[in-house]
Amino acid sequence: MKELNIADYYSKPLLLTENSKISDVILGFLEQRIDVACIVDDSIYPIGIVSKYSVYRSMLAGMNLDTPIKTILQKDVLTINHKEAFRQVKDVLLQHNVAHGIVLSEENKVLGVISKSDIIRGFLHETEILVNQLTGLIEHLQDIVISIDRNNQIVAFNSAAEKVMQLKKEDVIGRNIEECFPEVAPFLVSVLDDLTTIKQKKVTFGPITGIGSFIPIAYKEKTNGALAIIKDITTLEEFAQELETTKNLQQTLQQAMALSYDAIIITNTESRITLTNQAFLDLFELNDKIIINQTIDEAVPLLGKFSFDPELKKEILTINNKTGIVTKEFIVHDGKEVGMIIKIISNQLDQWKELFYRMDKLESELNFYRTEYQKLTQNSSFDIIKSNNQKMANLKHQALLSAKNNSTVLITGESGTGKELFAEAIHKESGRKGNFVKVNCAAIPSELLESEFFGYADGAFTGARRGGKLGKFELADKGTLFLDEIGDMPLALQSKLLRVLQERNFERIGDNRTRSVDVRIIAATNKDLYQLVQDGEFREDFYYRINVVTIQIPPLRERLDDIPILCNHLINKLNERLNKQVIGISSEAFTLLKNYSWPGNIRQLENILERAMNFDVKNWIDSIHLPLDLIDNKQGVIHRDVVPSTIIQVTKRHESSNDKGTLKDSEKSMIMETLESVQGNRSKAAELLGISRTTLYNKLKKYNIETNVFFNIK
């Protein structure tokens, strides 16, 4: 190990001039967390030092903090060359009985400050390195290492020993060697009083037989302990057994291949054929003596391109007028490809096809009966909310209890978590005879909200409907009024709703007649209403009036265990709507779904499944049917702006397709469906489609989509 040099350990200096103030020193000490400042001239040559003790004394003497530090400067300072060794610096500091020294460059300019604590830290670092090197050496030895102290207690037990004895070092460290390992104890104890002897003995240590070297550990002619190094000699026998096992495996492989109906060949890293079976020879009408050691390209040109293309894993080929399914698998050992297996299935393909058809049909029937069974066994309206999550079960139970009274319910949660499903279930379980009336507070223009809620009388204003109009409160009489996105309701309307909730009556616009209603209110929002109250954007009295029973629905990323049951439910639902017969999701695609963060929650999951089923899905939704944003999200990081990006995804996947018209029609259809689902809100539509508003505007213009046909354009 090289000699330590102070250049790696001295502290960065606090450089000040004689005219600096005591306050400058204190600030420098606090900022750099040091206790010595170097006073230098304009050329950074040392003049002296000021220590924290000098500052303490000046403050005790009553000096002003604006006093120049030259009054407390210590000029008689020890200087040290930056190339000095640690031990020499230590001797100099001890000799001069000082705590600090200024480290100078070759040009005698200040580089830093070295203290006794820095010297000690250096020596401790050196000792730590030596200890770590020794410990690392012992730990990584393949031989077993055990060490004891003078009291016969175990002080070292390396990884090789742990592996052999199947014990953890914490289970044996500190215990008596004779108690733990009586096989080696006599040899270790015998060398404790013998400084010169190294004994070598054949020992049995647990399941192995080894040659042990027993060495005394001495310091200043006294033994402090003993060390045992045991080399496992059973390894040689194991090698012999492995060779024999390899021969047996090779023989077993040859016999298994001979019994297989499928044609099989095995190659090495150079694509040379090392093994084949009779089915392969018969299929290609070849002789094994000829093709062994030939490359695939030479022996079987038909398989040449398939074998060399790393992207191809499966292909259908016609071989001597027979159709065969060709698959390949690389043989990997220690992370490296050492060969390849090619298998060709050509026999009984018709039987396999019929079997797969029957399995698919049975799976479809099973899904149908499962759905019908769920319908028959549905116990409450909350059963439509599919979940296996315990937190969701507790919420459903809480909602069921709240449904039995008329208290106002506030449902919170991110967009797409199913707040409306909870609201409908509460209404159905409440037993109220009236209607369930939904109002999206964000989708109705603010100037129309009052007439929507309270209605208006005949002739109330220009353009009013003859005979007037019923408001949402009258429509929901004896029933439930669901106020979705209540966080977007204007303050003025909040005041009027508060009065209706308290007095249970109201007047239509343009009418003096007071009308009484019996309406239960269920509100929902994805916003923090309490924060809106603090910001003055939501009435505090209205907030406490609607926040009687609170149900907070967790996002999908917090209940990923619900994804299987949700996928099954949504696929069955979409099969009926789209007239499809999708069976389910492949394991690879399911892994991607489980690893995704779902910023759009269940609505986003349904969106992804529906778009997958609208394209090339036959029986199973695979990873290739999922959006790129979801596939690339391997770490499960939450991106609030990441949603299925179906438009972009479709364009990328089919940009080489000749069916340009179909692609454009599909894209236009998706844009229109999305706009309709959000009642024309272009910001939300862009979010659901995973594109910017600018991109959405360009596509609206490109496809001549008239936005005024929707309810509310924003």
Asked whether 177 and 148 are in contact (CB, 8 A), the reply is yes
Rounded Cα–Cα distance for residues 184 and 174 (Å):
16
Mean pLDDT of 102-125: 75
Rounded Cα–Cα distance for residues 563 and 651 (Å):
28
| Domains of the chain, CATH where assigned | 6-123 (3.10.580.10), 141-232 (3.30.450.20), 250-343 (3.30.450.20), 390-552 (3.40.50.300), 557-709 (1.10.8.60)
pLDDT score of 666: 60
User: How does the average pLDDT of the chain come out, rounded?
Assistant: 79
Sheet holding 314-319, edge to edge: 273-276, 263-267, 336-345, 322-333, 314-319
Report which secondary-structure segment, H or E, holds 342. Answer: strand 336-345
Asked whether 555 and 414 are in contact (CB, 8 A), the reply is yes
User: Residue 77 has which token pair?
Assistant: 């300072």
Asked whether 226 and 191 are in contact (CB, 8 A), the reply is yes
Percent of the chain with pLDDT over 70: 82
pLDDT tens track for 603-615 = 999 999 998 888 7
User: Would you report the helix, strand and coil content of the chain in percent, each value rounded to 5?
Assistant: 45, 20, 30
Mean pLDDT of 413-439: 92
Distances 618 to 136, 570, 614, 621 between C-alpha atoms, Å: 57, 16, 10, 8
Neighbours of 224 (CB within 10 A): 15
Neighbours of 489 (CB within 10 A): 23
Mean pLDDT of 73-92: 74
pLDDT tens track for 9-65 = 677 788 888 888 888 888 888 888 888 888 888 888 888 888 888 888 888 888 888
Lowest average pLDDT, out of 119-123, 470-474, 566-570, 580-584, goes to 119-123
Asked whether 10 and 61 are in contact (CB, 8 A), the reply is no
HEC per residue, 43-95: CCCEEEEEEHHHHHHHHHCCCCCCCEHHHHCECCCCEEECCCEHHHHHHHHHH
HEC per residue, 472-526: HHHHCCCCEEEEECHHHCCHHHHHHHHHHHHHCEEECECCCCEEECCCEEEEEEC
Res. 636: pLDDT tops 60:
no
Residue 311 φ/ψ, nearest 5 degrees? -80, -30
pLDDT score of 711: 45
Core vs surface per residue 675-700: b (16+ CB within 10 A) or e = beebbbbbebbbbbbbbeeeebeebb
Asked whether 69 and 56 are in contact (CB, 8 A), the reply is no
Percent of the chain with pLDDT over 90: 14
Rounded Cα–Cα distance for residues 651 and 518 (Å):
52
Sheet holding 199-205, edge to edge: 154-157, 144-149, 222-232, 208-219, 199-205
Of residues 179, 119, 124, the one with CA closest to residue 148: 179
Rounded Cα–Cα distance for residues 545 and 389 (Å):
30
pLDDT score of 56: 86
Neighbours of 464 (CB within 10 A): 16
Taken in order 57, 62, 64, 70, is the CA torsion positive or negative?
negative
Asked whether 211 and 202 are in contact (CB, 8 A), the reply is yes
Tell the burial category of 131 from Cβ atoms under 10 Å away from its Cβ (0-12, 13-18, 19+).
exposed
Report which secondary-structure segment, H or E, holds 222. Answer: strand 222-232
Cα radius of gyration (the chain)? 41
The contacts of residue 396 (CB under 8 Å, 6+ apart) are: 382, 385, 387, 425
Sheet holding 46-51, edge to edge: 15-16, 36-40, 46-51
pLDDT score of 438: 93
Res. 491: pLDDT tops 80:
yes
User: Residue 438 has which token pair?
Assistant: 């939904």
Neighbours of 199 (CB within 10 A): 16
Distances 342 to 100, 160, 267, 275, 526 between C-alpha atoms, Å: 75, 40, 8, 11, 55
Residue 711 φ/ψ, nearest 5 degrees? -65, -45
pLDDT score of 658: 42
Mean pLDDT of 131-140: 70
3-state secondary structure of 585: strand
Lowest average pLDDT, out of 264-268, 344-348, 640-644, 675-679, goes to 640-644
Distances 410 to 420, 444, 519, 656 between C-alpha atoms, Å: 11, 20, 15, 50
Angle at which helix 390-403 crosses helix 419-430, to 10 degrees, equals 40
HEC per residue, 408-441: CEEEECCCCCCHHHHHHHHHHHHCCCCCEEEEEC
Rounded Cα–Cα distance for residues 628 and 626 (Å):
7
Residue 267 corresponds to which amino acid?
T
Rounded Cα–Cα distance for residues 185 and 208 (Å):
16
For the chain, the farthest-separated pair of C-alpha atoms sits apart, in whole angstroms, at: 118
Strands (E) across 65-198 are located at: 79-81, 100-104, 110-115, 144-149, 154-157
Neighbours of 496 (CB within 10 A): 16
Q: Which residues pair with 341 in a beta bridge?
A: 266, 329
The segment with the largest mean pLDDT, out of 448-462, 493-507, 698-712, is 493-507
pLDDT tens track for 318-337 = 787 777 888 888 888 888 88
Tell the burial category of 712 from Cβ atoms under 10 Å away from its Cβ (0-12, 13-18, 19+).
middle
Mean pLDDT of 643-665: 41
